[in-house]
Structures are given as structure tokens and as C-alpha cells.
Structure 1
Amino acid sequence: MNTQHFSTKERILGAAEQLFAQHGFAGASLRQVTAAANVNLAAVNYHFGSKENLINEVFRRRLDELNSHRMHALEQAAQRPEADLEDLLAAFIRPALDLSLDRGGGGAFVRLLARAYAEHNDALRKFLSDNYGYVLKRFHSAFAQRLPNLDKEELYWRLDIVAGALTYAMADFGVIKRKTGVTEQQHRERAVEHLIRFAAAGLRAP
């Protein structure tokens, strides 16, 4: 791949991620993105075609890698006969919280993800469902094997709530802040442990 081509596209994606996270999808204009990326509008049109496609590609850049890690972790857990519900939850939760620690823009993407939940962008929701819905289905299937008492709809409800709690934890919206002397990694690890225990109890509830 041409280095300049890659560099321009990555600059646009990085600038868009920051601006969409800060101002929202409607609030950040393409002109703001081009100014921040130091490119012209023609470059955005060449690489992405439209603002909607740019938004989609900002998500694809992070979610492809995130869900690759999730699926790999799920496959590893599924291969172990002794793997329990907590192991499956770790495969879903830990890669996402690791992303929030990524110094290469992970924090901005987490805020962007929170906006995606809050803003009613039907086109984006369709894109996420069409491209990443299979991930939730795979996890649903794995959880269903260990939770035979729950019907399909009830399990989807509970997984949706788990995903919401995970997004909240990723965005660090909570009242529990990192203590002095505790590293960010240690703080996130505690968040992982608490969220797994909480989610496991919710999934196992009658």
C-alpha cells in the first residue's frame, strides 16, 4: 500500500474519531475533520465517499480488531471443558476494557461508542448490526449452552444489559475513581473482575 495513501486515510480517521467523540456525529462537520487532519475535502470524498461512510469506517477500524480479540478468546475458552460462565464473560469484557487503555486513541473511541448508544443514528446502528451482530450471536450461543434455564429472548435481554454496563465501565463514567498509588492498568483489572462477577450473577439469576 502506498505510504502517503495510508497516512492520509489514517489522519482523517484519527481526526474524525476525536471530533465525533467530542462533538457528536451531527455536531462535527467534514470541514472540521479536514482542518484537523490537514487535508482537503476531496481527500475525504476520495477515501470515504460520504460522512456516513466515514463514520462507519471509524468504527470498523477499532471494532474489527476488538472483535477479533473477542472471538479468539471465546474460541480458546470454548476448547476448555472446564471453562465456566466467568471465562466466557472474560472473553467478552476484557478485550473491550483493554481497548480503553490503548494510548493510540482508544479513549476517544470509547467516548464515541458511548455516543453511539446515546444518539439515535439508525444508519450507524444498521451498520453495526450488519457487520458485528454475528459476534453477539456467537457469544449468545456459548452462554446458552451454560444457561439452559433461560430462553433465547431472556438471554438476549440480559446480554444487552451486560453490554450497556460494559460501555459504562469502558467510558469510566462511574463514581469509583482510581486511587492514588493504583496504576490505570490495576484499576481497569479491578473493573474487569467486578464486572465479570456482577454479570455472572445477573445471567445466572432465575
Structure 2
Amino acid sequence: MANTTHFSTKDRILGAAEELFAQHGFAGTSLRQVTSRADVNIAAVNYHFGSKENLVNEVFRRRMDDMTALRLSQLKTALEQHPGELRPVLAAFVEPALAMSQDRHGGGAFVRVVARAYAEKNDGLRKFLSDHYGHVLREFGKAIATCVPGLSKEELYWRLDFLAGALTYAMADFGLIKRPADVTEAAHRERAARELIRFAEAGIRAGN
């Protein structure tokens, strides 16, 4: 029973922090607000996370670890079953991220947290993401380079950057295309993934 309490307290803190970071940003959210929203005391936050900076990092880790595992698993399958084909590689990058953004258990809030990370200069968070998830971009970079060998390394990383930005925009559902009332979220997400993958494929192959 103690184990369940341990995890539920930690998850409550992470969920509360995610919602507050989405609403107010990292600098604009205090630990006191987090403890109030999670209905815990400050000692619980210190016990589980040690510092606000580590709490920010763990909010990202909670979502990113699962998404990273799905991306790399799908990439492995793409390379084994469709060697040399670009579109399955791009699908492995795009589809798990869009699926995570539609997760009913806080996926939307996390996307807004990602948008905050782009807007706020948080060097500690950037280092954490680079240290823990930079290898994912490198793996996709290698796979794309195999499919489009004419790209220079600089061109490849420019285009991968643009893809990541477009994907974040699509995840946040900021665009002109809104889900029609008669279309399910899953169907809308599949259409968004399909269109983004086609767009990215054309962009990455441009001039090659």
C-alpha cells in the first residue's frame, strides 16, 4: 500500500506541475502553487524532486521517455522492413509525438509546456533535453541521411529542425485546420500525421 501512495503522490505533483507550467510558464509557477494544486506539502516535493529545476526536468521525462521508446521502436521496424525508404522513417518521428499530444491524460497540457520551453530561455532544461534525448535526433538524422545521401550534414540538420518545429505546431493544434465535428480525434490525428509526413518528405528531398 505504501508503494501505491508513493507513486500517486509523485504523479499528483507531476500532474499539478504540468498544468501550472502550461498556464504560467516555468518562471511564473512557484512550488507553493504546485503543492497547493497537488494537495501535498513542500516536504513531499523536496523528497521526490529535490528542486524546482529537477521537477521541470521530470515533467518532461514522464512524457518523453515513453514517446522516445515508441519512436525508436518504430524507427527500428522502418529500417528493417523498409530499408532506404524515407516516409516510414518520418512516420516513426511524427506519429508517436502526435499520439502523445492527443493523450487524454494531460497530453494537451504537456504540449503547452513544450511551447513554453520554446518561448522561455531555460538553459538547464535545454541541457537536460540535449543530454537525455539528443541521441534520438541523431538516430533519425542517420536514418534520413541513408535515405537521402545527397544532403550535406548542415542541410540535414536544418531540415530536421524545421520538421521538429512543424511537428510541435501540429501537436499544439494552432493551425488553420480544425477538427470537423463529425471527425474523431484519432482520424484527425491520422490525417495530420499523413499530411505532415508528405510535406516533410518533399522538404527533405528538395533539391536532391
TMscore range, shorter length: over 0.9
Partner of 2:30: 29
Q: Which amino acid aligns with 1:78?
A: L
Tell me how far apart the structure 1 counterparts of residues 65 and 109 of structure 2 sit (CA, whole Å). 17
Matches within 5 A, 1:1-206: 2-82=3-83, 84-206=85-207
1:3, CA displacement in angstroms? 1.1
Structure 1, gaps ≥5 residues long: none
| Farther off after superposition, 174-183 or 67-76 | 174-183
Q: What CA deviation, in whole Å up to 9, does each residue of 1:20-49 have, x standing for no partner? A: 011100111110000000000111011100
What SS class does the counterpart of residue 2 from structure 1 fall into?
Answer: helix
Give the C-alpha shift of residue 149 in structure 1: 0.6
What is the CA–CA distance in structure 2 between the aligned matches of 1:81 and 1:24, rounded to whole Å?
Answer: 41
SS of equivalent residue, structure 2 residue 81: coil
Counterpart contact for 2:75–2:89, Cα < 8 Å? yes
**Offset at residue 180 of structure 1 (A):** 2.3
Worse-matched range after superposition: 61-70 or 146-155: 146-155
CA distance in 2, matches of 1:106, 1:81: 30
Separation (CA, whole Å) in 2 of partners of 1:50 and 1:5: 18
Give the drift of 1:59: 0.2
TM-score scaled by structure 2?
0.97
Letter in 1 for 2:36: A
What's the offset of the Cα at 1:124? 0.4
d(CA) in 1 for partners of 2:159 and 2:142? 13
What is the aligned residue count? Answer: 206
**SS of the counterpart of 1:103?**
coil
Unaligned runs of 5+ in 2: none
Report the CA distance shift for 1:81/1:168 in structure 2 as closer, same or farther (over 3 A). closer
Percent sequence identity over aligned pairs: 67
Contact 1:169 1:191 in 2 (8 A): yes
Using the size of structure 1 for normalisation, the TM-score is 0.98
Aligned AA (1:28): T
Q: Alpha-carbon deviation of 1:83? A: 5.7
Hey, which bits of structure 1, 4+ residues long, moved more than 4 A? none
Inter-partner Cα distance in structure 1 for 2:187 and 2:63: 23
Q: Is the 8 A contact 1:77 1:83 kept in 2?
A: no
Summarize deviations over 1:51-108 as a string: whole Å, max 9, x none. Answer: 0000000000000000000000000001014561111000000000000111111111
